Amino acid sequence: MRVARADESKEIQITEFPYKGVPLPVRDVTVRWLSQAGPADSPEYGLRLFRIGPSGEIPIHKHFYYQTMYVLSGAMVVAVHDPETDAKTDERRAGPSEVVFIPTMEPHSIVNASAQEECVFLCAIANVYDN
């Protein structure tokens, strides 16, 4: 068992995220790893605290893990993209107490809905491995 304060975890600035082999710029986003199990570079499970600054953005990306986000404050717009064309196929706004689930390998992007306040959310991940 481990009990810790969230602010004891190091806050890491994210500056880019790869998509289809190309590093895309991330705008005004930080993450704190609150817990994780498994290898550091590819945990089997993790709980993270994200902050997206005003007008901040996480560009289109995809990953092997399932992802569930719970918005604590502010609001974000989450878009799902076509895996072939990268065109947006759905876009939803999520605010406090709302949950967003992203299946494994689904291309998506996140934008802070506000130009004045940050968006803060918890993000739980569970990795999927080939058997």
> What pLDDT sits at residue 110?
98
> What pLDDT sits at residue 112?
98
CA distances for 12 relative to 48, 51, 91, 100, angstroms: 11, 10, 27, 22
> What pLDDT sits at residue 39?
78
Cite the beta strand spans of 76-118 per DSSP E.
Answer: 76-81, 88-94, 99-102, 108-112
> What pLDDT sits at residue 129?
64
> What pLDDT sits at residue 28?
98
Distance from C-alpha of 29 to C-alpha of 101, rounded to nearest angstrom = 19
| Tokens of residue 70, six digits | 């719970």
> What pLDDT sits at residue 59?
98
Domains present along the chain, CATH in parentheses: 9-126 (2.60.120.10)
Instruction: Give the pLDDT of the chain (131 residues) as one tens digit per residue.
Output: 989 999 999 999 999 999 999 999 999 999 999 998 887 777 789 999 999 999 999 999 999 899 999 999 999 999 999 999 999 999 999 999 999 999 999 999 999 999 999 999 999 999 876 54
C-beta separation of 80 from 89 below 8 A: yes
Eight-state DSSP code of residue 7: G
